[in-house]
Amino acid sequence: MKPEFSIILLTVLAGMAEGVLFFLVGADAITLLKGGAVSFDIMLYGVILSVALAGLGTMASFFHLHHKSRGIKAIKRWRFSWLSREVLLLPLFIGLTVVYGICAIIGVATWLRLLSGLAGVFVGLALGISSGMIYCSVRYIREWANPYTPINFVVIGLAGGSVILLATLELVKADHDLIMILLRMAIPVTVIAMTAKGMSYLYNSTAYSSTTLQSAIGAWRSDIVLMDTGCAYENYNTREYFHKSGKKIERAMIWFVMTVLFILPLSMLTLDYVAVFNGHPSTWGVLAALSMLIGGLAERWLFFVQGNHVQNLYYGRFVDKNGKNPILQPGKTAGPLPPVS
């Protein structure tokens, strides 16, 4: 599938916003349990960060719509369409985050603040799941239609959010104990995200759709060659469902994503942990957050590129179970095909 930058930005930033609120509320609760309290300005920074990330994501999402003024109509079918649910939950998430922030600022009762925070976390997780389910419910793309998709959307968002919140705390020179609490949560969550994503890549390396050209056109012959796609050059179907330059670097990008999204940040977080544990101020978290942001964008880009839609069968762009595709291997199959941009 063709990666669209607006969707990549929306899913990555909204996922991180969910993660920031999740760990802000988590740190708030743990500090309360330990008998302390998260300072007023830290809460403010955290809420502003979460709202800013989610707001940027929302702005990016509008660039995906061709009729922006009709965007509100997208909530109509929330009972049936995951896309509707995402559109409904995103402003709700931002609203609940703001409510949590207001509760922290005006100093309402602790249970009320935690309750609003938990509501925000719950809606954030639901938002992450519905973002993932948008892709998971496209059953004609095997790389998307598996349980790893919503799991990855949520855990990568959580991991990214935890590290970005950590980076912010380090930048504003937050309390040592608070940074330790966050580090102890960020490292395991990043490891979980790495495992989930690794399993997803493993699954995708062997998963393929059982649909064949034979079944797609109903000609039960083993030797079928596509001669003409019915278009003189390109059309919507050849552009939207296949990304040639991306497919070429797909394997290399898997290693890039695993390194920049997980391995580099994890090593930096370990260094950070060692430094903070020994009582030194450290800014490794900032570098880890930058690396995760780049890796997160690359991961979502690769997620789109990996999508192999069955309609590609009609255009000779389908990647078969051997990982072979006529377009990517010129000269190996017969039949003229239109050029791909």
Partner 1 sequence: MTQLALVIDLAKCVGCHACAVNCKEWNTSGTFGPLPDGEPYGKEPDGVWFNRVQTYEVGSYPDVEVFYFPKSCMHCKDAPCVKVCPTNASHKRAEDGIVLVDYDECIGCKYCSWACPYGCREFDEYAGVMKKCTLCVDRIYDEKLPEEERVPACVKTCPSSARTFGDIDDPDSAASVKVRDGAGYMPMPESGANPSNRYLAHRPVKTALDEERVIVKKHQFVEEAEKTDRPQDPEYFDFAG
DSSP state of 70: G
Strand partners, 115: none
Tell me the CB-side half-sphere exposure of residue 31, using CA atoms within 13 A. Answer: 22
Asked if residue 234 binds partner 1 (CB under 8 A), the reply is: yes
Q: Which is nearer to partner 1, 33 or 232 (CB)?
A: 232
- Residue 273 in contact with residue 280, Cβ under 8 Å? no
Task: Select from 34, 37, 59, 76 the one that contacts partner 1 (CB under 8 A).
Answer: 76
- Name the residue among 182, 293, 308 with its Cα closest to residue 246: 308
Task: Select from 33, 35, 79, 80 the one that contacts partner 1 (CB under 8 A).
Answer: 80
Residue 176's alpha-carbon distances to 21, 187, 278, 328, in angstroms, are 20, 17, 11, 53
Asked if residue 235 binds partner 1 (CB under 8 A), the reply is: yes
Q: Which is nearer to partner 1, 7 or 121 (CB)?
A: 7
Q: How far is residue 74's CA from residue 67's CA, in Å, rounded to a whole number?
A: 11
Task: Select from 55, 314, 328, 340 the one that contacts partner 1 (CB under 8 A).
Answer: 314
Task: Select from 55, 56, 64, 275 the one that contacts partner 1 (CB under 8 A).
Answer: 64
Region of 39-47, 79-87, 106-114, 247-255 interacting with partner 1 (CB under 8 A):
79-87
| One character per residue 189-228, x = contact with partner 1 (rule: CB under 8 A) | ---------------------xx---xxxxx-x-xxxxxx
- Residue 189 in contact with residue 155, Cβ under 8 Å? yes
Asked if residue 65 binds partner 1 (CB under 8 A), the reply is: yes
Residue 47's alpha-carbon distances to 25, 82, 178, 256, 313, in angstroms, are 10, 26, 16, 31, 47
Binding site for partner 1 (CB under 8 A): 1, 64-67, 70-71, 73-77, 80-84, 87, 134, 137-141, 210-211, 215-219, 221, 223-237, 240-241, 309-312, 314-315, 334-335
